[in-house]
A and B are shown apart, each in its own frame.
Chain A
Amino acid sequence: MAGHRVAHATLKGPSVVKELVIGFALGLAAGGLWKMHHWNEQRKTRAFYDLLERGEISVVHPEE
């Protein structure tokens, strides 16, 4: 039912669909922030291993 509202004798009541959509959108936004953090970390990890492969950085302490 479009614009389904919680039935009440006198008050207008909230729209269930609207609240669900807003909640889902907020959830997606928060999840999206997390995904961005994940992609950023993946990018940094990939860059680290690329640099290691090319020999521009090293994790081995040089022999003295």
Chain B
Amino acid sequence: MIVLKWLFLTISPCDAAEPWQLGSQDAATPIMQGIIDLHHDIFFFLILILVFVLWILVRALWHFHYKENAIPQRIVHGTTIEILRTIFPSLISMFIAIPSFALLYSMDEVVVDPAITIKAIGHQWYRTYEYSDYNSSDEQSLTFDSYMIPEEDLELGQSRLLEVDNRVVVPAKTHLRIIVTSADVPHSWAVPSSGVKCDAVPGRLNQISILVQREGVYYGQCSEICGTNHAFTPIVVEAVPRKDYGSRVSNQLIPQTGEA
């Protein structure tokens, strides 16, 4: 087991894209964990079929090499094998479909009463986030824009093309509703470690429910071509402890709303 653990090296935890990354980013939500588990389920069948087919191919090349087998046979029927090669793939498809549909329908479950609703609005080429839960009738929503930090303004340790000036601050371990839309052309709000990708379509409100399981900073990028700076509109979600959320929002956002 120790040898196997050594052989199957795990990639160090990551919530952003990493150079030479092989697998998914680490899951921060139950949905992403479900996606990773489904991938693992399907990959089992992929490996099974790949090894089986490679074996049969190699053995066929071995046994029927022209030096070993000068006179080729013309086999045109084999009822038993034809039945088997129809049934087995159907069974495999069924074993893949069961967890796949289970995940798909669970992703569609709408949380009836999320604690917080955040609107994410795509623009060319920045994001606007609105926290409208804290309005009284005469106040505006807490609103701020989120622009990518240009490469020349990055500090040591920050990621190129991923950092933004104002992050989306959310409480961890809390049900959230994110409403995604666009003010101009289609965009897409994607955060891989949260298992979220939601199209931002002008004139339409798309809704997603997420529950971030651990505190951290999660990076994503625009995922629908939206013009010349499509590659330069990242998303950064910062999940903070619940007890710190209120102060973070008021400290971070009120100066921006004052300027807005």
Interface residues of A (CB under 8 A from B): 6-9, 11, 13-14, 16, 19-20, 22-24, 26-31, 33-38, 40-42, 44-45, 49, 52, 59-60
B-side interface residues, number (CB < 8 Å): 34
Q: Is the CB of B47 within 8 A of A27?
A: yes
The 7 A-B pairs at the shortest CB distance, nearest first, are namely A23-B55, A27-B52, A27-B48, A27-B51, A38-B40, A31-B48, A37-B8
Proximity string of chain B (9-51) to chain A, C-beta cutoff 8 Å, 1 when within and 0 when not: 0100000000000000001000001000100100111011111
B128 interface residue, CB < 8 Å from A? no
**Contact, CB under 8 Å: A27 / B216:** no
Residues of B contacting A35 in the complex (Cβ-Cβ under 8 angstroms): 40, 44
Interface pair A60/B241, CB less than 8 Å apart: yes
- Contact partners of B241 in chain A: CB under 8 A: 60
A35 to chain B, nearest CB (A): 6
Closest residue to A7 on the B side, CB-wise? B73
Min CB gap B82→A, angstroms: 13
Complex contact A27–B43 (CB within 8 A):
no
Residue of A with least CB distance to B88: A24
Contacts of B47 in A (CB 8 A): 27, 30-31, 34
A15–B241 Cα gap in the complex (Å)?
Answer: 64
Q: How far is the CB of A48 from chain B (nearest CB, A)?
A: 9
Nearest chain A CB to B57's CB is how many angstroms away?
9
Q: Judging by beta carbons under 8 Å apart, are A49 and B45 in contact?
A: no
Query: Taking CB as reference atom, which chain A residue is nearest B62?
Result: A14
Q: Are A14 and B63 in contact (CB under 8 A)?
A: yes
B98 at the A/B interface (Cβ < 8 Å)? no
How far is B73's CA from A8's CA once the two chains are assembled, in angstroms? Answer: 7
- Evaluate contact between B55 and A6: CB separation under 8 angstroms: no
Q: Provided the pairs A36-B4, A45-B27, A60-B241 are in contact, do residues A23 and B75 lie with their beta carbons within 8 angstroms?
A: no
Given A26-B55, A34-B43, are A8 and B71 also a contact pair (CB < 8 Å)?
yes
